[in-house]
Amino acid sequence: MKRLLRLTIPSTVAKRPIIYEIVTKYNLKPNIIEADLAEDHTGKVILELDGQPIDLERGILYLKELDIEVESLE
């Protein structure tokens, strides 16, 4: 199953390897479609995630727990 998402990343987690974390913790395959990071370390990322439905839900919940705004683009 694939999900297309827009992530709004706050500066508090900008230096954290969040893509790596969701790959290793939740067995998700990411495809970064677009990324726009500002000098203040905030940013937006359009990201396609592929994985099992339960892994997708857990990965998205994890992102939200990091105060990353997650918006579905589907």
Domain boundaries, position 47: 2-72
CATH number, residue 58 = 3.30.70.260
**Count of beta carbons in the 10 Å neighbourhood of residue 46:** 16
7-57: per-residue pLDDT in tens? Answer: 999 999 988 999 999 999 999 999 999 999 898 889 999 999 999 999 999
Q: Which of 49, 56, 3, 53 is nearest to 26 (CA)?
A: 56
The residue with tokens 């290793």 is 24
Give me the number of domains the chain comprises.
1
Query: Is the distance from CB of 5 to CB of 71 less than 8 angstroms?
Result: yes
pLDDT reading at 69 higher than 90: yes
Query: What is the per-residue pLDDT for 15?
Result: 86
Beta bridge partners of residue 69, listed in sequence order: 8
Query: What is the per-residue pLDDT for 14?
Result: 85
